[in-house]
Structure 1
Amino acid sequence: MRAAAVVVLCAGLAVQAEEIRIEVARGQRAARIEAGGRNHALAVVDSVLTVDGKAVASAEFPGPVRVDGRELPGRLEVFIDRGALVAVNAVDLEQYVAAVVASEVSPKWPAEALRAQAVAARTFAVAQKVAQGPGARAHLGSSVLDQVYRNAARPPQPALDAARSTAGEVLTYGAAPIAAWFSASCGGVSESAEAAFHLEPGAAPYIRGGDSDDDRREWTVRLPLAEITAALRKAQRIQAEIRGVAVETRTASGRAKDLALATSSGTRPLSAVELRQLLGYNRIPSLLFEVSTEGATALFRGRGSGHGVGLCQWGARSRALAGAGYRDILAHYYPDAEVRRMY
């Protein structure tokens, strides 16, 4: 989940966020769309959008639609940005929330954990919509950088129930929707938003880092130093050969903050966040790790998955299994926030 844009909060709850706009595709130069029983070929020709060979400024298709085989509810808007196609799905907020719940966690989880996820997802979406401002072509993306948006057309019944039973509910602080970050697993201890996203102190007072949790799932990753070297060279960060990785400083929660890279031209500094971004979030699951060098390999041993800020999905599951209600779960992860109904 990204930090940029979401730190701006809504000034109140007067705006009823009934529709949300999700960027579902970007960068392609051609696509096939099925809408209203018809197939359409979209392409970028000489920096102009064409639909079935005809030049248009933009295109809109009523839902449900299929984009390269992916079924989506709501309408689809397509336009060109930087010489490539951009597709935006405008969908009912509650249907979007159900899809996010089904995409982010298992529908087989306890109902109270799903409800907690629904409120967090709705809150994050509303805060992003307000932050983007009126006239925004898209409010969120569909990947892990915002909230995962799959299973959109036919969310499973437990996800639908979670959205419907909490419809309109958002987490607020001072009557404004909060930036309700969440991650898969905090590894036993949560992170502060300020540390994870380099925010000013007090920017997210409704989330406290350092809270303990029962979820301590561990992982081990072996990364060839050649892979790290290649990633840093590709990003034009460090051209020297990487020969070792060590943690120099940590955040208050114990997560790696600053790294020291032993290279063929001396020791170089690099933030742990940047290393994880460059290698891929799937390569280093979280920053709650110890690292050592064994020959030509960096050995990472850690806990958790994701940034560890806000709701911990696996921790929420454990709390629900222990009998906690969704509001109790939310109060644990967002202790100074209040659940309010927008509509």
Structure 2
Amino acid sequence: MKKPFIFILLLSFSVVIVSVVSSLLLYSDIDETKESVKNKIKKTQEITYEKIDKDDPIINVYDVDENKIKKMNMEEYLYGVLSSEMPSTFDEEALKAQAVAARTYVIYKIENNIKSGHKGADICTNSSHCQAYTSYENLKNIKGKDWMDSDYVKVKKAIDETRGQILTYNDKAILPLYFSTSSGKTENSEDVFSTKYPYLVSVDSPYEKQSPKYITTYSIEKSKFIKYIKNLYPQLSVSLSQLDNQVNIESRTEGGCVKIIRIGNIKLSGIQIRKILNLNSANFTIDYSGNEMKFTIKGYGHGVGMSQWGAQGMAQKGYKYYDILFHYFKDTNIKDIY
């Protein structure tokens, strides 16, 4: 060989280049795998669920404001529910997921003959008891013509395109609980409501950070904190000067909420503290500064079932409404009943 030095130099340079490129590709694959494991949620192949064509059922709705029972077409009732329960600015697939959940909730009530608080009706318009509802006329007055011409059409489309569809477990309508914002993970039903449902289990909810209530704070004077607790639990024994050391979070749920918190000589649940202080959720940490306690809260709502902001995040990532529902309600199916 006439120029062995040049050949060896070129060979060495090639080996270095190959090694660098291989390393970059390897680390890229590792990073991609990490991201995939962290965020990937299973997608279902394109499915059409419209299989049955029956008349819409007529349901009995107790109107809390008017204190009377009204007969309503189910789908028209749902227009008023979806307009009230989820922002109309949300993605179409998130709205569809909410539509199926809202419809399922009514059927669940009917199938289980749950009429308590409804004056004998199937469902009521009290949002703290059943689902929020706003009539067409009230929506026009509250939202205005522009909203009715654009967003209301979008809401109707989400209802119409999922007409008759409900979520089932063992071929029966589920209890499709939903809430605003999770802390990145939902809760097991038994950790919040004492009752265990096989489809209401803790799952990852990675797309929450866009929610305006993903993280909130609440500050209170230590003396007021003690007063609020003592009003409900007179047996409480704590020292104001030693409070920092006398309040300890002892355990958390799988979803991250406070399970047990010790305050002096008593133990309370995170849910009890949430109610006492009116916090956005039971997932919180506590910091102390001088005579103040600062609560940092993650999420908004009870945390069981479908996170609405999580559903919005999934929809923005390209997931269909059934992907969203199957993710938040484990081992369920969608059934078209009319």
Alignment TM-score > 0.5, same fold: yes
Three-state SS of the structure 2 residue aligned to 1:136 is coil
Three-state SS of the structure 1 residue aligned to 2:108 is helix
Aligned ranges for residues 124-135 of structure 1 at < 5 Å?
124-133=105-114
Identity over the aligned pairs, expressed in percent? 28
Report the structure, 1 or 2, having the larger helix content: 2
Deviation larger for 150-159 or 321-330: 150-159
- Counterpart of 2:309, as a letter, is W
Does structure 1 residue 169 correspond to structure 2 residue 153?
no
**Which of 210, 218, 225 is the aligned partner of 1:221?**
218
Between the aligned partners of 1:339 and 1:295, the Cα distance in structure 2 is 54
Q: Give yes or no for contact 1:232–1:239 (8 Å, CA) kept in 2.
A: no
Between the aligned partners of 2:290 and 2:63, the Cα distance in structure 1 is 43
Deviations along 1:6-38, one digit per CA (max 9) or x if unpaired, are xxxxxxxxxx8531424525xxxxxxxxxxxxx
Aligned ranges for residues 270-285 of structure 1 at < 5 Å?
270-280=268-278, 284-285=279-280
Structure 2, gaps ≥5 residues long: 1-55, 140-147
- Quote the offset at 1:241 in angstroms: 8.0
Does structure 1 residue 311 correspond to structure 2 residue 306?
yes
Tell me which residue corresponds to 1:115: 96
How many residue pairs match? The answer is 258
- Quote the offset at 1:325 in angstroms: 1.2
**Which of 88, 92, 106 is the aligned partner of 2:87?**
106
- Counterpart of 1:277, as a letter, is K
- Counterpart of 2:266, as a letter, is R
- Give the structure with higher Rg (CA): 2
Three-state SS of the structure 1 residue aligned to 2:112 is helix
Q: Give yes or no for contact 2:178–2:306 (8 Å, CA) kept in 1.
A: yes
Q: Give yes or no for contact 1:23–1:138 (8 Å, CA) kept in 2.
A: no
Q: Give yes or no for contact 2:106–2:122 (8 Å, CA) kept in 1.
A: no
TM-score (norm 2): 0.68
TM-score (norm 1): 0.67
Inter-CA distance 239–139: structure 2 relative to 1 (3 Å threshold): farther
Between the aligned partners of 2:258 and 2:135, the Cα distance in structure 1 is 34
Deviations along 1:254-300, one digit per CA (max 9) or x if unpaired, are 210112224xxxx22212112222333xxx11112112333443211
Inter-CA distance 185–261: structure 2 relative to 1 (3 Å threshold): same
RMSD between superposed Cα atoms in Å: 2.7
Between the aligned partners of 1:278 and 1:261, the Cα distance in structure 2 is 14
Inter-CA distance 230–131: structure 2 relative to 1 (3 Å threshold): farther
- Counterpart of 1:99, as a letter, is G
Structure 1, gaps ≥5 residues long: 1-15, 26-66, 68-75, 78-87
Inter-CA distance 225–342: structure 2 relative to 1 (3 Å threshold): farther
Tell me which residue corresponds to 1:260: 262
Does structure 1 residue 19 correspond to structure 2 residue 59?
yes
- Quote the offset at 1:230 in angstroms: 5.2
- Quote the offset at 1:305 in angstroms: 0.9
Q: Give yes or no for contact 2:60–2:71 (8 Å, CA) kept in 1.
A: yes
Deviations along 1:172-227, one digit per CA (max 9) or x if unpaired, are 0011000101111112111111212112xxx3112321424221422222133455
- Quote the offset at 1:319 in angstroms: 1.2
Tell me which residue corresponds to 2:41: none
Aligned ranges for residues 182-197 of structure 1 at < 5 Å?
182-197=178-193
Inter-CA distance 275–95: structure 2 relative to 1 (3 Å threshold): farther
Does structure 1 residue 324 correspond to structure 2 residue 283?
no
Aligned ranges for residues 5-16 of structure 1 at < 5 Å?
none
Q: Which structure has more RCO (C-alpha within 8 Å, separation ≥ 6)?
A: 2
Three-state SS of the structure 2 residue aligned to 1:290 is strand
Inter-CA distance 237–138: structure 2 relative to 1 (3 Å threshold): farther
Q: Give yes or no for contact 2:270–2:283 (8 Å, CA) kept in 1.
A: no
